[in-house]
Amino acid sequence: MNSKKTVVVLFGGQSSEHDVSLISACNIISNIDTNKYFVLTVGITRKGQWMLYNGPLKHIETGEWEKFATPAFISPDASHKALIKLAGDRYKTIPVDVVFPVLHGLYGEDGTVQGLLEMAQIPYVGCGVLSSSISMDKVYTKIIIEKENIAQANYIVVYKEELNNTDEIVSRVNEAFGYPCFIKPSNAGSSIGITKAHNEEELIEGLNLAAKHDRKILVEEAIVGREVECAVLGNLDVKASSVGEIIAGAEFYDYDAKYNNSESKTIINPDIEKEIVEEIREKAIRIFKAVNGSGLARVDFFIEKETNRVIFNEINTMPGFTSISMYPMLWENVGIPKTELIDNLIQLALEKA
């Protein structure tokens, strides 16, 4: 009798992080324990079409997988709990035990696909609808963290409709914290659409860029300090990893610095005082619980240069699994290799169901 669980690894998506998702998915697929799990790979195109792919991983990385895939989608009908594969005017129902949504950003990390899976009553890896949507929205994350009395950068919120009165926005920024400052779309990941402004002209340019990615824009004071990250894992019993540090190869760790700049580096167990490391780990767990997290997340902080204060930056509920991604590296550092980590995540999904 076959006791393997059927896992759908869901990748791609309609967000600006589509390409990162493809690479993350390849790393997960190549490290999943096939003695325990039967893997179905389902991709979502940039236009939103769902397709079942069964072929070499290299075609996923290059984006060529779409040429060899067939239409298939998760049925929202809870009586199915299945993947529906289409073939002309016929369809085949493939039972599914759990979904691993390796989707970053819009329609993947924001609670939308989680809502679909909840309707289908299929267990899935990662945070639920509420925690995913809150954590994806930088402004609402900040509101919740304020209630936790955890230090974070000062900020103001700007809406796209307000950009016809930039003088008023400039005045608010000058009054709140001045320059330099960061401009971020409230709902975007991988530092997409983020700019650093050193003056009013750059502020306006940054606002217009951010408005292309989201209606709601976060303008935030710049924190001078070290950028560090901590991985968390668990449902009710939450564990925090060691700490990693980001050394950006550019003025800040934007998309290009993350994925294209060879000068950018990640350091596991950097030279940071033990007390500060423990503070980061404790706050990472507190923040994860505050947003009602489950499964996994990566929580990012600054260590302020002049004061050594630990300042919260953001939380990512489906962190990258690329070869340079901090989340799997942090767990490998404490003795949990990728295959075991993926198994843990799947088991946490089944436990939560």
CATH number of the domain that 32 lies in?
A: 3.40.50.20
Q: Do residue 144 and residue 264 come from a single domain?
A: yes
Q: Do residue 87 and residue 193 come from a single domain?
A: no
**Alpha carbons 120 and 116: distance in angstroms, whole number:** 6
Tens-of-pLDDT digits for all 353 residues of the chain?
568 999 999 999 998 889 999 999 999 999 999 999 999 999 999 999 999 999 999 999 999 999 999 999 999 999 999 999 998 889 999 999 999 999 998 899 999 999 999 999 999 999 999 999 999 999 999 999 999 999 999 999 999 999 999 999 999 999 999 999 999 999 875 567 899 999 999 999 999 999 998 999 999 999 999 999 999 999 999 999 999 999 875 555 444 545 454 556 889 999 999 999 999 999 999 999 999 999 999 999 999 999 999 999 999 999 999 888 999 999 999 999 999 999 999 999 999 97
Cα-based distances in Å from 147 to 11, 151, 284, 292, 298: 34, 10, 15, 14, 20
Identify the domain boundary among 206, 221, 236.
221
Residues 147/150/151/154 CA torsion (nearest 10 deg): -20
Q: Do residue 186 and residue 242 come from a single domain?
A: no
| Residue 217 within any structural domain of the chain | yes
| Residue 274 within any structural domain of the chain | yes
How many CA atoms, within 13 angstroms, populate the side-chain half-sphere of residue 268? 14
Q: What is the pLDDT of residues 132-151, one digit of tens each?
A: 999 999 999 999 999 999 99
Identify the domain boundary among 173, 198, 221.
221
| Residue 9 within any structural domain of the chain | yes
- Partners of 44 in beta bridges: 12, 50
Task: Give the pTM.
Answer: 0.92
Query: Domain containing 216 — which CATH number?
Result: 3.30.1490.20
Number of structural domains found in the chain = 3
Q: Do residue 228 and residue 338 come from a single domain?
A: yes
Q: Do residue 145 and residue 228 come from a single domain?
A: yes
Torsions phi, psi of 114, nearest 5? -65, -40
- Partners of 163 in beta bridges: none
CB contact set of 13 (below 8 Å; sequence gap of 6+): 21, 44, 46, 103, 104, 105, 106, 107, 108
Longest dimension (CA), the chain: 70
| Residue 115 within any structural domain of the chain | yes
- In this structure, the number of other CB atoms found within 10 A of the CB of residue 19 comes to 15
Structural domain harbouring 306: 134-150+224-352
| Residue 18 within any structural domain of the chain | yes
Identify the domain boundary among 176, 193, 221.
221
Q: Do residue 140 and residue 248 come from a single domain?
A: yes
- Partners of 11 in beta bridges: 43
Q: Which residue has the tokens 């167990």?
A: 269
Q: Do residue 318 and residue 235 come from a single domain?
A: yes
Q: What is the pLDDT of residues 231-261, one digit of tens each?
A: 999 999 999 999 999 987 555 544 454 545 4
Please choose, from the candidates 113, 88, 79, 111, the residue with its C-alpha nearest in 3D space to the C-alpha of residue 9: 113
| Residue 119 within any structural domain of the chain | yes
Q: Do residue 244 and residue 344 come from a single domain?
A: yes
Query: Domain containing 288 — which CATH number?
Result: 3.30.470.20
46 is written with which tokens?
Answer: 């940039």
| Residue 237 within any structural domain of the chain | yes
Q: Do residue 35 and residue 115 come from a single domain?
A: yes
Q: Do residue 62 and residue 111 come from a single domain?
A: yes
Q: Do residue 228 and residue 342 come from a single domain?
A: yes
Q: Do residue 230 and residue 333 come from a single domain?
A: yes
| Residue 129 within any structural domain of the chain | no
Average pLDDT, the chain: 93
